[in-house]
Amino acid sequence: MEQSSKSAFAKQVSKSRLEFLFDGVFAIAMTLMVLELKVPELQNRLSAHELGAALLHHGRTFFSYILSFFALSMFWMVHNRIYINLKKISNTCLAIHIWLLAVAAFFPFCAHLLGKFPGNRLTLQIYFGTVFAYFFGIFLLIIAAEKQKLFDPAVEAKDIRKLRNRFLRSCVIILTAFVFYSFFPFGK
């Protein structure tokens, strides 16, 4: 009796709405980065040469935009691959999603930082730290979903284990690169 009244009053978040919010934040984060691409000022408005030079001068901003766009796309795809196999959303799972969204919304800032100070060591630490924060969140999501049996029952346990190990590996690689880069005393 109690059981059925519980199931009538839905307490969890609907899976499709979390999807909308997630995809919305990613769509905006991806498009926001373009705002940083500033149209330059020219002395001779008709000179293609001057415009080209001005744009090339901002070349690294463009590069950072493209790199970060593809990084965000990869983030989105990675999440997609896990989410499609989930059957329901628990509170832990929701909290991890908020974390993932906060990281994704923060990413355009990292992209701007990289565009402006590409050679600065702290910039790269922040950039890779953010990438690590995302991948680690995904890793936690897999663990939580496994523990709380949120995966579709039709999905075999070994597929989940393989997925989890792949993400653990990614996290370790990013972290190693990060630590190595941070403490190895090259340059300044």
Residues 92-151 binding a second copy (CB under 8 A) are 94, 98, 101-102, 105-106, 108-109, 112-113, 116-117, 119-123, 125
Min dist. Cβ of residue 42 to a second copy (A): 7
Count residues near a second copy (CB under 8 A): 71
Cα–Cα distance, 45 to 48 (Å, whole number): 8
Cβ contacts of 164 within 8 Å, gap of 6 or more: 139, 142, 143, 146
Tell me if 165 contacts a second copy by CB under 8 A: no
Cβ contacts of 144 within 8 Å, gap of 6 or more: 90, 92, 93, 96, 150
What angle separates helix 91-116 from helix 15-32, to the nearest 10 degrees?
A: 0
Tell me if 48 contacts a second copy by CB under 8 A: yes
Please give the residues from 5 up to 34 whose contact with a second copy meets the rule CB under 8 A: 5, 8-14, 17, 19-21, 23-34
Cα–Cα distance, 61 to 131 (Å, whole number): 19
Min dist. Cβ of residue 92 to a second copy (A): 13
Q: Is 151 helix (H, G, I), strand (E, B) or coil?
A: strand
Please give the residues from 50 up to 69 whose contact with a second copy meets the rule CB under 8 A: 51-52, 55, 66, 69
Min dist. Cβ of residue 170 to a second copy (A): 17
Tell me if 155 contacts a second copy by CB under 8 A: yes
Tell me if 184 contacts a second copy by CB under 8 A: no
